[in-house]
Amino acid sequence: MDTIPLIPATSNLVKRNLASSESSESKKAESSSAARLLVLQNMVPLATNLVSSQLEAFSTRLADQLFKLSDQAVRPEEAKVSYDAHQLLKRNSTAFYRLVAGQINAALSKEVSVFNTRRRLKKDEQYLDKTAQTYEEMEGKILLRNASHALEVLNAESLVMLNTLIGRILNRMPIDVTQNPFRPEIFVKAVHQAWMELDDNPASHLVVLRLLQPTVFLQLSPILDEINQELMARGIRPDSDDGFDTSAGGVAYLPVQKFFSLDPYLQDKLKRVFSGQIELAHTDPNYDFSGLAAVSDTLTNQLDLDADEDRADKASIDQQFFEDLREMQKRFAQEEHANAPFESRLHKVLHASSAQKLSVVERNTIELLARIFDYIFADQSLGKDIKSMMAQLQIPIVRVALSDRDFFFRESHPARTLLDILGSSGIVLDHDASALDPLLGVIGDVVERVQTEFDAQIDLFSDVVSDLELYLKEEDCKAQAAISQPVQTALTEEKMRVSRELAEHDVAIRVETGEVAGFLEVFLEEQWIRILTIAHSVKDEKPHALENALKTMDDLIWSLKPKNSPDERKALIAKLPAMLTLLNAWLNAIRWDEPDRVLFFSKLAERHAAMARAPLELSPRRQLEIAVNIAQRASNRRLDRFVNEKAVQANDEATKQVADLERGMWLDFSDELEQITRFKLAWISPKRSSFIFANRQGDQAFSIAAADLEDKYRAGTASTILANSLVDRALTYALRDLAI
């Protein structure tokens, strides 16, 4: 049936239809931010305890430096201040310990509680702001900056790891050191504050601050490393899929993201757009998308414009223009209610009277976003419901991009991540029944929250992305639980398949020597392989079973080789009873009771009897004939094996496509009636010999062998959906007609 564009009212209808289930999911979503915050709050007492263990050594180093300074100072007043501070610290070391520990605990607790909503300051504003009125205050800020920077350099490796882990927790990859609540600046400020409480003499405050250098200060590396270890022990990993890992493609439900090398050509285009060197031409709302299918997917997730310290995201926009944007947002929402055709409304934004005051860079920002949304609305892989959701985000995204141009340069930007997730969701939603899909209700709530709550805090996008990804991850966990039985079955089948391959190898290396009699060769390849397969499958539990089966096979092969001496014949007669007993026991285990078993043992008995009656010494001619026959059979066997291996190794495009598959990818399968069904690759066996595909909920699943899947690729009845970043594709297309 036709899809129904989902506007906020429709979203409420879906929620009413699914009230019980969505109520539970909503509560989980509401608590997700608090849960993430709690993880970091638990690191505060750990850091405080680690600091406390260093306070005695730190106090000693600081006191020594104060005494050394008092002895070396040129100015008498500085020498006196340093000596008095030295004496004060010696007399009140315990009080200093208490003050430092208390200040650090309070500072870290405050940072953790507020940094999730704090806007990032300009690079140096945190040190040099307009509140500094005196020379001493300004010098104090410079000393703080220098001490913090020196510690950052010394502990760079640990800080980078912690930045990554915190980014995993908060879905805000990558964060920088200014956003890290455990950054060196916090420790330096806390220690300095503790000293100011200990000594009320202002003259000593700058003296002590100058001494807070890496050689004197607390050793932050073991503290940061311990926090990193604790976070990783809780399942948070810098480069894997864990409970908090929501980097691109991290949610297994979503199509896996493909990353490409940076395209310098596109990088130069963006640099020109945001340097103000050129002004993008205003496009017609009926943007030409005839070449949509041929869009390149080469724009990627990073553009390094660090050389430009004052990025365009620091632009100051006229407040009247933002007020006009709010009014436009309301009007555009009414147009969505009227089921207007999907087209970017952002072309109209530049016609507002207040837009005339915008700079070239700001106008370029809006025009580029208009082109991006034009592309999105023309994308045939997205249904009407998802397009309706994304249409309601146009004005909020404009406001984000005007205040933070990282939207264009950083793939992990939260607002950009939201658009990419919506684009990925649009690909995997069933367009014929999407209006009843709970996921669409959750997306509707997210969009509605952005519309109603977004003002200037970009971190709101981080929160809604976290809540949406939490829902998707929970949905994926349910789907994985639903396919647990097929997975166990597939694991058992693969174990037997691998055991069979090992058994075939065990037989092949013996047969290809050319020393195995013809009837015995058939027996080993048809019956003994079955026995070895069982032995290999239970090798971990019963290792002696495999040893026993291999030894019995080797003894059987040896028993049929020519015996040229009396001692060899005596050994054969001695071994036969035990060997035949084991042979029969193994054949009983596989229940080989066919008449062929009787025939096999008859031939075996004849050969053994013939050996017993053979002349004691074989003539040289006969020995040569036997050797030539063995060599010929061995040569033929090796040639057959070489040809078979070459056939197996023959790779084609289908083989490569199957080899490139990863869990989380989505594939289209077509049947005899050419009806296409979309399934997610939910599981890959350890040996990649079988794959399990399922729908999003996991209630429809099937297993397929790698060879059969390759055949489907060759026949064109299976194809991979390459879901690259929607914004990347749209941005690439939007810049297509811009010449460098």
Q: pLDDT tens-digit profile of 323-342?
A: 777 777 766 665 655 455 56
The total of other beta-carbon atoms located within 10 Å of residue 222's CB is 14
Tell whether the model's pLDDT for residue 26 goes beyond 60.
Answer: no
What confidence tens digit (pLDDT) does each residue in 680-689 have?
Answer: 888 898 888 8
174: preceding bond cis by omega (within 30 degrees): yes
CB 446, CB 422: distance < 8 Å: no
The tokens for 324 are: 């006009």
pLDDT computed for residue 115 by the predictor = 61
What is the per-residue pLDDT for 314? 37
Predicted confidence at residue 376, as pLDDT, reads 87
* Average pLDDT of the residues in 460-489: 85
Instruction: Tell which residue, 29, 306, 43, 315, has the closest CA to residue 180.
Output: 43
List the CATH code of the domain at 653-728: 2.30.30.30
Give this prediction's pTM. Answer: 0.52
Return the H-helix or E-strand segment holding 81: helix 76-91
Q: List, for residues 621-660, the tens digit of each pLDDT value.
A: 655 665 666 566 656 666 666 656 555 545 678 888 898 8
* pLDDT confidence of residue 301: 35
Backbone angle region of 688, left / alpha / beta, with phi > 0 → left and psi within -120 to 50 → alpha: left
**What is the rounded CA–CA span in Å between residue 507 and residue 590?**
17
User: Of 566 and 319, which is predicted with more confidence?
Assistant: 566
pLDDT band at 739 (very low <50, low <70, confident <90, very high): low
Residue 379 binned pLDDT confidence (cut-offs 50, 70, 90):
confident
**Torsion sign over Cα 65, 66, 71, 72:** positive
Alpha helix segments (H runs only) across 171-260: 184-198, 202-211, 220-233
Report the range of poorest mean pLDDT among 183-192, 411-420, 632-641, 724-733: 632-641
DSSP 136-158: HHHHHHHHHHHHHHHHHHHTHHH
Higher pLDDT, 269 or 252: 269
Closest listed residue to residue 658, CA positions, set 728, 708, 624 = 708
Per-domain boundaries in the chain: 42-233, 249-301+311-481, 486-649, 653-728
Q: Grade residue 552 by pLDDT with cuts at 50, 70 and 90.
A: very high
Q: Looking at the predicted structure, is the pLDDT value of residue 242 above 90? A: no
Q: In this structure, which amino acid lies at residue 228?
A: N
Give pLDDT, residue 550: 93
| Residue 136 phi, psi dihedral angles, 5° rounding | -65, -40
Is 738's pLDDT higher than 90?
A: no
Residue 317 has pLDDT above 90, yes or no: no
Query: Tokens 């632009």 belong to which residue?
Result: 315
Specify the residue for token string 């140096």. 124
- The strand pairing partners of 693, in sequence order, are 681, 702
Q: Rounded to whole angstroms, what are the CA distances from 580 to 338, 573, 583, 585?
A: 87, 11, 5, 9
Lowest mean pLDDT: which of 26-35, 201-210, 263-272, 428-437? 26-35
CA-wise closest residue to 337 among 111, 87, 7: 7
| Cα 434 from Cα 430, distance rounded (Å) | 5
pLDDT the model gives residue 77: 86
Which tokens belong to 601?
Answer: 């043992």
Of the candidate ranges 18-27, 49-58, 387-396, the one whose mean pLDDT is the lowest: 18-27
- Which comes out higher in pLDDT, residue 637 or 367? 367
Query: What's the pLDDT at 282?
Result: 63
Range of lowest pLDDT (57-66, 122-131, 577-586): 122-131
